[in-house]
Amino acid sequence: MALSKTQNKRLGSILGVMFNDSLSEEILDSLTNEGYIKLEDSKYVLTDKGLDEKQRLCTLSGLNIMYSSEKTKKVI
């Protein structure tokens, strides 16, 4: 399933925050106002809502992109 233009922009912006890319103030303000990111120690980080949205959009687009802290260890 293809993402809409809005979903594509949101996913790209969220991934940009995850990978510490430089983003425009407009995008950062939008993500902050929607509750997807927050400013923490002069650095933007994803909120729980942002992580959920990233996972939802990645699933829709067939991607598997995670922070290392999101990965779970497999127990045998």
Q: How many domains does the chain have?
A: 1
Residue 56 domain-assigned (yes or no): yes
How far apart are the C-alpha atoms of 14 and 27, rounded to whole Å?
A: 10
Residue 60 domain-assigned (yes or no): yes
Residue 45 domain-assigned (yes or no): yes
What confidence score (pLDDT) does residue 66 get?
Answer: 74
Residue 40 domain-assigned (yes or no): yes
Supply the range of the domain harboring residue 10.
Answer: 5-70
> What confidence tens digit (pLDDT) does each residue in 5-48 have?
999 999 999 999 999 999 999 999 999 999 999 999 999 999 99
Long-range contacts of the stretch 8-11 (C-beta < 8 A, 24+): 10/36, 10/53, 10/57, 11/54, 11/57, 11/58, 11/61
> What confidence tens digit (pLDDT) does each residue in 58-72 have?
989 888 877 766 666
Read off the pTM. Answer: 0.82
For 44-67, the DSSP string reads: EEE-HHHHHHHHHHHHHHT-----
